Structure 1
């Protein structure tokens, strides 16, 4: 038997009897997959780990609290033997052999009639890696291969084209704060599968260079507006390409719904009957301060943080922000898109009671290779921005948390 490779097969265990002998760590690792497969599981073991006991308490398996005895495998389709008793393992294995029941042994792979592969899942696909022969089995090696394949499928670095017709539509993908490694796994996979990508300036630009040559990349800032406003033109471009049967990704910086007009685009697509998927992204409001060594909350310093758009000044009639209320808060204030208005914002906060000495950190090009941090106070921030030539995109953090991190006053 050792001269021949194992034959790989997928077992359909829904409603079929499976016996697990032993309730230790091996069973704890294997049981969730058997439960997910819909197997009718009987566990035979005098004891079990707390996690296995919780599965029994939840009714996910039947637990017989005793040692294995002859006949326990009756009517079983599959058995997992995982006890620390070699003699009991051998007797159970022999019973399985007599009744032609596929049997996995955790203690002796060569005596087993089945092996458990290293498995992983990605978008409805199960990846199973199995060593061909008993000799030279290296579970860590097979697990590493499994991990590499699954990770490649998830992040798009291993592209497996769909040969069946795909449903055209649009994915609004939050690309994160700028570092290409901070896009979500799902976002990166959808990007790798796209026919058309309409990208914002603040999206992770480095990812665009990795796209296959056939992918059409459109800079949202350069879409001709004509008689339309900028957002309307972007909406129309999304609809036009989707109606051509293409898979379209709208790659946005941060999260689509945090000052990203994602809902406006989703509403336009819904009105046009275009299916749309929204993939959340890591918002710069929390990731950029973190990258600069600033926690937006910290025990004993700040119990809340507020995120505000600063694209409209406090004295502008279009402003929807209650600046007097913000001035009274004791937590952290994070301002996005406000570097050119920070002088007037600081004046409004101080005028409504915030101390002029309140610390301020300005993080420019956060999470990218060009990141820099400049510290100031509400009293000095306007002059600091001018003299230090702080430019967008900059995340502004106001509050005592600025002084907490190791990079304070850098």
Structure 2
């Protein structure tokens, strides 16, 4: 048997009896996949790790708190033998042979009738890797091969072309704060599969250079439109390309729903009868302060943080922000799109009770190679922004967390 390679197969275990012998680390690693497969998992073990016990408590598996007994594999379709008792493992393996139950042996792969491949999932596929070299059955190398394939599917470097027509649709992808590595796995995969990409100026531009030559990249800022027709023109472009049967990705900076007008695009697509997949992105409101060494919350310093748009000045009648109320909050205030309005914002906050010496940090082009941080206070931030010629995009953080760093003493609640 050892001279022949294993025959790969995918087991459909939904509702079928699966027996796991042993509740240790091996079971802890293997049980989640069995539960996800819908198996009727019967765990036989006198003890279990906390994670395995939690699965039993949640009703995901049935736990028989005892040692293996002959007959435990009766009616099973599949078994994982992973106890710390070699003699029990041998007896269970023999029972599996008699009962024609495929058995994985954690302690002795050569005596098993089934092997567990190194598996991973991406893009609707399950990747399972088994070694064919009986003399070099190195699980680390097998896992490395699995990881390389899954990572390629994740980041789009390994793309299999579609040979069947795809359903019309648009993917609204949040590209994150700017660093191309901070886009989500799903977002990057959809980007790699796109025929057309309509990109914002604040999206992760480096990712666009990695796209194949056939992909049409449209700069949303350059779509012809009148001054007040920008969003409508973008909506029309999304609909037009999707109706042509193309895979369309709308690549936006940050998260599509955090000051990204994403819902307007979703509504326009829905009105045109075009399905839309929304892929959340890492918002700059949290990630940029983090990249600059600022936690938006910190024990004993800030138990809350508030994110507001500063693109409309506090004294503008169009503003929907309750600036006087914000001035009374003790937590962190994060302002997006507020560089050119920061002077009036600071004046409003101090006029309604915020201390003029409240620390402020302005982080320009956060998470990118051009990131820089300017520190000030509410009283000085307007002058600091002018002196350092801070330009958008920038995130403004107001609050005591600005002074918290790796070397700061740990405050008490």
TM-score (norm 2): 0.94
Partners of 2:149 and 2:133 lie apart in 1 by: 21
How many angstroms apart in 1 are the aligned matches of 2:58 and 2:390? 57
- Other-structure match for 2:411: none
CA shift, 1:226, in A, is 5.0
SS at match of 1:208: helix
Q: 1:287 to 1:41 in 2, by over 3 A?
A: closer
Deviations for 1:26-53, whole angstroms, at most 9, x for unmatched residues?
A: 2222222222223333333333333333
Distance 1:381 1:81 in 2: 65
Q: Distance in 2 between matches of 1:255 and 1:59?
A: 36
Change (3 A) 1:13 1:354: closer
Q: How many residues align?
A: 408
2:334 maps to which residue?
A: 334
Equivalence for 1:368: 368
Q: Point out the more displaced range, 175-184 or 291-300.
A: 291-300
Which is further off, 82-91 or 103-112?
A: 82-91
Aligned to 1:16: 16
For the 8 Å contact 1:45–1:68, the answer to whether it is kept is yes
The answer for the alignment partner of 2:162 in structure 1 is: 162
The 5 Å alignment of 1:204-283 reads: 204-226=204-226, 229-283=229-283
SS at match of 1:152: helix
Distance of aligned partners of 1:70 and 1:201 in 2 relative to their CA distance in 1, 3 Å threshold = same
Cα offset for 1:339?
0.8
For structure 2, list consecutive stretches of 5 or more residues without a partner in the other structure.
409-413
Higher deviation after alignment, 268-277 or 49-58: 49-58
**Structure 1 counterpart of 2:65:** 65
Q: Is the 8 A contact 1:306 1:334 kept in 2?
A: yes
1:225, CA displacement in angstroms? 0.7
In the TM superposition, residue 109 of structure 1 has moved relative to its aligned partner by 0.9
Q: Which stretch of the first structure deviates more once superposed, 71-80 or 184-193?
A: 71-80
Please report how far the alpha carbon of residue 113 of structure 1 lies from its aligned counterpart in structure 2 after TM superposition: 1.5
User: Matched residues in 1 for 2:89 and 2:226: separation?
Assistant: 77
Matches within 5 A, 1:245-394: 245-394=245-394
Other-structure match for 2:101: 101
Question: Which stretches in structure 1 are left out of the alignment for 5+ residues?
Answer: none
Identify the residue that residue 196 of structure 1 maps to in structure 2.
Answer: 196
- Structure 1 residue 66 displacement after superposition: 3.0
Task: Output the CA distance in 2 between the equivalents of 1:50 and 1:227.
Answer: 60
Q: Is the 8 A contact 2:176 2:253 kept in 1?
A: yes
Residue 31 of structure 2 corresponds to 31
Please tell me the root mean square deviation across aligned C-alpha atoms, in Å. 1.9
**What is the distance in 1 between the residues matched to 2:40 and 2:226?**
64
Once the two structures are TM-superposed, the CA of residue 228 in structure 1 deviates from its matched residue by 6.4
SS of the residue corresponding to residue 128 of structure 2 reads: strand
Separation in structure 2 between the aligned mates of residue 45 and residue 385 of structure 1, nearest angstrom? 65
Match of 1:79 in 2: 79
Q: More deviation in 326-335 or 61-70?
A: 61-70
Q: Larger deviation: 16-25 or 84-93? A: 16-25
CA distance in 2, matches of 1:360, 1:54: 44
